[in-house]
Amino acid sequence: MFEYDQEIVNALLNKNNNFKRLFDKHSSLKDTVREMNEGNIGIDQLSLEKLKKTKLKLKDRMSLIIENHR
């Protein structure tokens, strides 16, 4: 995620508490979704889709913060 903006991401993680909170939540959801897709955690398809949408919304919010930082 944000491979091309890693320098900005690192700066924001150190300076912006809101960005760090979003990043941490996104990372947690990313791990959970991966576990669910691998079948390690049982969940219905609707709940999985909701988690994926939440994860995407977090990523979109972080993208806006990155753009504003530039």
CA distance 64 to 67: 5
Q: Report pLDDT digits (tens) over 47-68.
A: 888 989 999 999 999 999 998 8
CA distance 15 to 36: 32
Tell me: pLDDT of 3 over 70.
no
The answer to whether the CB of 9 falls within 8 A of the CB of 70 is no
Tell me: pLDDT of 43 over 90.
no
